Chains A and B, each alone.
Chain A
Amino acid sequence: MNDDELREEIESHLRMRAEHNSISPAEARKRFGNSTQIQEEMRSMHISVFADQLRQDLGYALRRMARQPGFTFAVIATIALGVGAASAVFSVVDRILFRSLPFASEEQLVWLGMTAPLASDEFLLGGDYFDWREQQTAFTHLTASAGGSCDITETQRPEHVRCLRIAHDYLAAFGIQPHRGRSFTKDEDRHDGQKSVMISHALWRTRYNAAEDVLNKTLEINGVQSRIVGVLPPDFEVPNLQQVDLAVPLALNETQQRSRKSFMMFVNGWARLKPGVSIDQARTLMQPVFENSLQYVPKAFVKEVKLNITSLRERQARDSRATSLALLGAVLCVLIIACANVMNLFLARATASAREFWIREAIGASRFRLTRQNLTESMLLCFTGGISGLVLAYWFLQTAIVIAPSDIPRMADASLDLRVVCFALVLTIAAGFISGLRIEVPARSWTRPALVTLQIALAGALLYATALLGESLWKMQSVPLGVTTDRLLTTRIELPSRKPDVRAAFWTQLQQRIAALPGVEAQTLSDSLPPNGSGGMIFSRISVDGKPEDLSAGTGGMACVRTIAPGFFEALRVPVLKGRSFEPMEPESIILSERIARRLFNGSIDVLGHKIRPGTGETWRTVVGVVGNVHNKGIESGDPEYYLPLSRERDAGGLILTVRTSGEPERIIDLIRTEIHALDPHLPLKFETMQQITGKLTARPRFSAAILAFFSLAGLFIGATGVYAVVSFLISQRSKEIAVRMAVGASASQIRRMILSTSLQWAAAGMLGSAAVLSVVLPLIRNLLYRTAPTRPWLIVTVLVAIGVVVIAASLPPARRAARSDPMPVLRQD
């Protein structure tokens, strides 16, 4: 019912009255009474008092917010930043640590296998896999897979793809239903079984346009026709987090694997616990089975091999856990800083406007009404901040996804988690609510400085952690890898389906063609490339002429073996310390790295001409050179390394072509591609520069350091606004004292110093707090640091100075204002 209608109703009454009594409209109006007031009364019948007051309060709050833009902005920005950062990070971390895996009853799934110093992951040997499968009693399924790559060798669109070899009951064990078709049969999982393949949902869409008739079509994989029997579901993922394009049967030769005589396949073992069986029980049940397998392990290594059964989730989160927890901690710090700030801002303002409220109360406003008015305002601010925070969170998340390294599992499909958003909102709103309520009770004098100290403590801790990570990152990036990384172009060429003779001819022709190209300074072929390694040899199996074998020493760890073509050290600029590099056609020679030479020959590198047999099945080889050390385990220097010349026997089918260019490596890509395709037009090629490869090594720490840096800056910024607000508030509270001091002759600089010394006291208290926080946190982030001690004196000093500077910078403007103010009006007040 609007005002017009009310007025019309009264008008119609007046008209009828005038007509009925034959009087003038004016007289009728007089008789009616005060129509405006009556109209007001009528309206009040329709509006609930609550809504009306709410409207009043909202209007009042909006006016007050507009009158104090600085305060309004500080509160909204603080909440937005806190909610935004918290929601974004929780959403990411939640996916990594807490999300449910796309497997049925995932809590029953375990990763099982043996661990040994030889391998970083748990593994099973083919023979053990068959034994364990047969003898185990703890699981409903015990299955296996092996990762790898393969080539789609169709003449149309040849592709190098990621292949997963799976046992026939792999999908069943994980409770995965094929999207189309079926999984493999037991017969297909035999080494002589029919070749079949399942394709990934992505491949089905890109290569087959999601055609329904894809089943029973054939696909040539590594030169063998395989029948497509099924399509994997879209959310299919492998527990060890690789992406998969194709799944083929594991198809081990059971008799051969069980004989344990020749080549033994390494597989990953997975199992599903029987209902009611715990992991500990499973370990006990598996122990005899495992001990049975130990009889095949060489005596020297037995004590280094262990059984390992871990829940899938725990095992999966292992690598990301430290980073995730560090992020969570950082975001928690920012959230606490933000909440403290919101409370502080509100408290400061509430005290500033206390006088106004006392007056209003004195002239009759009810306490309830005043509190409600205050709450309306703080809620409005928190709400606005929360909404802005949501927008920020979305934006943070998108940014994080873009800058995140691709190997962080499931990062790309992280999305804002509503529960998390609600949590952050509730937290800040609670802070606002508490502060809104506090209007009547003047905050105790220690509350504000305590809150500021808390902020400084957390900001300082964040800053120090960031600085540590930054230093560790810098060390990582400047670690010498043993090779010169600029102007190097690499591509992997896979020829697994060719005959050895064809391959050998291919490699020779390739090297000739590439070497003849303009802009190529040097080129080589190798089976792996620093900073990575591929092959490994048990160190104690390497025999040196005239040195007795010592089997009691255990494995002695691993040695890295690299197969290289001539020109390797020249192309990568690895210094040749003694002797020379390989020449063509000398299959019986060996080159040692400095490290392995010193270890094999008691510290000497004058070892040219010595005979070495790398592994019991190998031939004796002559040392022709000793070269500088290179990394073979990424950022870690890795195992001691030796080099064998590329030969027909040592050619496993795939090699990396490395080219040192005279100009920008990218410019020569097309030339090289043309040359390779002249030899084989169907080879799938992917080029990478060496710097792209080494860049990936630090991608993850760079990401965490970037995020942490962002948080510590946010924390520092929020903390600074907190200091500013509280200093301003304290000055306004002490304005009389300051005025008196000035009136009796204190100089402006004395006033400034007095105020600054108070803030510096907080800063000092805050830094003690930082030290306390760090003493808890540092042991936890130790794993994230690379060759960086957690206590770095110069970093501590830097952070101390930085915090001091920020605190002073935040206190200086209000201190200056106070020092410049005229004492007289203050003294005349009241």
Chain B
Amino acid sequence: MARKPDHLQGSLDLLILKTLEKQPNHGFGITLHIETVSEGLLSVEEGSLYPALHRLERDSLISGEWTVTGNQRRARIYRITPAGRKRLAEAEESWKNVHKGVARILRYT
């Protein structure tokens, strides 16, 4: 039985949730968003995105739904759930803490 993570697995989940917090999007849109916003600093390994999406969906942090996009294509659109928002807030907090901690250590040495 898969273990339910009590904190987000790595940064990919955080990025996905953060992206979907603004607006629902499909997988490719999420990839694109992360690439453009991070100005190319972060690139998502496309292959690992989808298993992550489905895991988040299984854990009810996001929900996916087939819709037809502007140019008449079927795409699976994901949106963040209230549980996802809560988890995102916690993750952002812990990420900031980690970031702060690491920064302090870097400053100290």
Contact = CB atoms under 8 A, between A and B. Distances in A.
A20 B32 contact: yes
Nearest to B76: A9
A13 interface: yes
Contacts of B76: 5, 9, 12
B15 interface: no
Contacts of A41: 50-51
B54 A42 contact: yes
Interface string B45-60: 1111011011101100
Contacts of A49: 1-2
Nearest to A42: B54
Contacts of A31: 46
Contacts of A15: 73
B34 to A, nearest CB: 14
B contact patch SS: helix
Contacts of A9: 27, 50, 75-76
B28 A17 contact: yes
Contact of B47 (A34, A48, A50): A34
Interface in B10-31: 26-28, 31
Interface in A7-42: 8-10, 12-13, 15-17, 20, 31-35, 38, 41-42
A45 B55 contact: yes
A12 B26 contact: yes
Contact of B50 (A17, A42, A46, A50): A42
Contacts of B66: 5
A33 B55 CA distance: 19
Contacts, number: 61
A13 B30 CA distance: 11
B74 interface: yes
Interface centre among A5, A13, A15, A38 (most CB of B within 10 A): A13
Contacts of B26: 12-13, 16
Contacts of B45: 33
Given A16-B28, A20-B32, A50-B1, A32 B75 contact: no
B23 to A, nearest CB: 17
A48 B59 CA distance: 12
- Chain B interface category by residue count: 20 to 34
Contacts of A10: 50
Contact of A13 (B27, B57, B58): B27
Q: Which of B46, B53, B57 neighbours the largest number of chain A CB atoms within 10 Å of its CB?
A: B46
Interface string A50-70: 100000000000000000000
Contacts of A42: 50-51, 53-54
Nearest to B55: A45
Given A42-B51, A50-B1, A13 B46 contact: yes
A664 to B, nearest CB: 77
A142 to B, nearest CB: 69
Nearest to B30: A13
Interface residues of A, number: 24
Nearest to A32: B46
Contacts of B51: 38, 41-42, 45
Contacts of A1: 54
A773 B9 CA distance: 67
A50 to B, nearest CB: 6
B46 A48 contact: no
A374 B16 CA distance: 43
Interface in B31-49: 31-32, 45-48
Contacts of A34: 47
A93 to B, nearest CB: 46
A538 to B, nearest CB: 85
A630 to B, nearest CB: 81
A25 to B, nearest CB: 14
A32 B47 contact: yes
Contacts of B27: 9, 13
Contacts of A48: 1-2
Interface string A723-747: 0000000000000000000000000
A33 to B, nearest CB: 3
Nearest to A53: B1
B28 A13 contact: yes
Contact of A12 (B31, B46, B75): B75
Contacts of B58: 45-46
A332 to B, nearest CB: 42
B109 to A, nearest CB: 38
A155 B21 CA distance: 94
B49 to A, nearest CB: 8
B25 to A, nearest CB: 11
Contacts of A17: 28, 46
Contacts of B31: 13
Given A12-B26, A17-B28, A33 B2 contact: no
Interface centre among B47, B57, B75 (most CB of A within 10 A): B47
Nearest to B54: A45
Contacts of B47: 32-35, 38
B52 to A, nearest CB: 9
B68 to A, nearest CB: 11
Contacts of A32: 46-47
A16 B58 CA distance: 25
Nearest to A45: B54
A49 B75 CA distance: 28
Nearest to B58: A45
A12 B46 CA distance: 13
Given A13-B27, A49-B2, A8 B74 contact: yes
27 contacts: A1-B54, A5-B76, A9-B27, A9-B50, A9-B76, A10-B50, A12-B26, A12-B74, A12-B75, A13-B28, A31-B46, A32-B46, A32-B47, A33-B45, A35-B47, A38-B48, A38-B51, A42-B50, A42-B53, A42-B54, A45-B51, A45-B54, A45-B55, A45-B57, A45-B58, A48-B2, A49-B1
Interface of B: 1-2, 26-28, 31-32, 45-48, 50-51, 53-55, 57-58, 66, 73-76
Task: State the 6 A-B residue pairs at the shortest beta-carbon distance, nearest first.
Answer: A33-B47, A45-B54, A16-B28, A41-B51, A42-B54, A45-B55
Given A9-B27, A45-B2, 11 more contacts: A9-B50, A10-B50, A16-B28, A16-B75, A20-B28, A31-B46, A42-B51, A42-B53, A45-B54, A46-B54, A48-B1
